[in-house]
Amino acid sequence: MAYLFTSESVSEGHPDKVADQISDALLDNFLAFDPESKVACETLVTTGQVVLAGEVKSDTYLDVQTIARTVINNIGYTKGAYQFSGDSCGVISLIHEQSQDINQGVDRASKEEQGAGDQGMMFGYATKETENYMPLALDISHRILIELAALRREGKEIPYLRPDSKSQVTIEYSDDNVPQKIVAIVVSTQHDDFDADEVMLAKIKKDIIEILIPRVKAQFPQHVQDLFNDAITYHINPTGKFVIGGPHGDSGLTGRKIIVDTYGGKGAHGGGAFSGKDPSKVDRSAAYASRHIAKNLVAAGVADEVLVQVSYAIGVVEPTSIFVNTYGTSHVDLTDGAIATKVATIFDMRPAAIESRLKLRNPIYLETAAYGHMGRTPQIVTKKFESPYNGTIEKEVELFTWEKLDHVDAVKKAFSL
C-alpha cells in the first residue's frame, strides 16, 4: 500500500536559523584569523536582543557584536517594524575560555593523534532518489524557501515578504519506495500588514501558488516536475496573517533545527547540533564525513540507499564503531557488516584525518547554517574577513567538500564494481 512521507524546512530568517548563522559566522571569523581555534558558540535571539555564549580557545580576538549585527542585517532584519534589527538590537557576549579538561583530550603532540572532541554517534545518509542524493521532500522544502528568499530580495513580484518563513512537503510513495506525487505543500511566510486580513491572505496564497511554486518546479528534472499536480493541497499561512515573526515572534536558539539541517527525518540523527562548533567536535565533522561516505557509496553503485553510523569516545583517536545499513538495496554480494568493514579501510575516520580530507579548518561554515548542511553544491569562493584587531584578510576556500564524489573510484575498486 502506498505511504506518505513529509519533511520541512525553515528560512534563513527563522529565529533558530538566525541563531545558527550568528554562531557559524563567529566560528568562521575565529578560523579565518586562527585556524587552530577551538570553538563552541551558542546564540540566543529574542525581541531586540542577542546573547552569545560558549567556550573558545583561540589566539585571536573578535568584535563579536559587529559580526552578529552584520549577519542579522544580511538576513534582512533591517527595519524597526520587525522589532529586531541588526543596527538596533542589543548584543551581549558571555563567551569564555574552553575548559582545559576538555582541551587535554583533543590536543596532542602529533596532529594525527588528535582525540575526538566529544563522545557520541553521528549519522550520514544518501539515496539515489534525487540528483544530489537527498530525500526528495526535504530537497523541495529547501528550494521553496531559497526561492522565496530570492523573491523577497528582488522585491518586485512579491514585495511584501518579510524574512521569517517555513515550508513542508508531503510526498506519496509506492510500495517499492518510488515517489508518485506531491500530496501537500505548506508555506508559512511572514509579511507586511498591507490590507484587510481576508484580502491579504487571498493575495499571499495566490502569489505563492502562481509565482513561487512554478519557479521552484522549473528547477527540477522532468521526472520530479511530473510529481507536481493540480490536486496538491496547499496550506498557505494556515493560521492567518503572519506579520509578527522572527526573533520578536519567537525566540531562537542555536541547534534547534537539526533535522532540517540533515535529512528531513529520513535515515537517522545522532542528536548533536552542528552550528558554532569547530571541526574537532565530531558532532559536526564526523556527521559530514558520514554523509561523504554514504553519498560516495550510493554514487558508486554499492546500494541505492545507505545509512552510515560512526561513534566516538571523547579524547580517543579511533572511532568506537562504524555501521552501515543498505536497507536491502545493496548491489554487492556482501552483508552490511562486511560493507562497513571495507568502508573502514577506504575512509580514515580519525578526527584529524577527517579535518584534513574535507578541509574543515577553513572558514566555510556560515554558508551551511541555512537551507541544510547536506545536499549542497561544492564550490570554491573567496571570503573576506575584517577585524579592528587583526586587519583584513581574504581566503579562498572550498565549501561543502563532504558533498564531493571524489572517492567513487576508490569505492568501486574496493567493491569490484
Going by the annotation, the residues of the binding site for ATP are 14, 164-166, 241-242, 250, 256-257, 273, 277
> Do residues 90 and 279 touch, judged by C-beta distance below 8 A?
no
Residues annotated within the binding site for K(+) are 42
Residues annotated within the binding site for L-methionine are 55, 98, 250, 281
Please compute Rg for the chain using Cα positions: 22
> Do residues 395 and 363 touch, judged by C-beta distance below 8 A?
yes
> What gap in Å lies between CA 415 and CA 417, rounded to an integer?
6
Distances (CA, A) of 273 to 42, 257, 342, 369, 413: 11, 8, 28, 11, 34
Q: Is 146 left (phi over 0), alpha (psi -120 to 50) or beta?
A: alpha
Distances (CA, A) of 183 to 216, 328, 389: 16, 27, 54
The DSSP output letter for 349 is -
Please provide residue 312's backbone torsions phi and psi, each rounded to the nearest 5 degrees.
Answer: -140, 160
> What gap in Å lies between CA 335 and CA 220, rounded to an integer?
35
Beta partners for 93?
52
∠272-274-280 over CA atoms, to 5°?
Answer: 90
Residues annotated within the binding site for Mg(2+) are 16
How is 65-127 classified by DSSP, letter by letter?
Answer: HHHHHHHHHHHT---GGGT--TTTSEEEEEEEEPPHHHHHHH--SSGGGPPBSS-EEEEEEEE
Residues 6+ apart with CB under 8 A from 406: 296
> What gap in Å lies between CA 291 and CA 294, rounded to an integer?
5
Residues annotated within the binding site are 14, 16, 42, 55, 98, 164-166, 241-242, 250, 256-257, 273, 277, 281
> Do residues 29 and 67 touch, judged by C-beta distance below 8 A?
yes
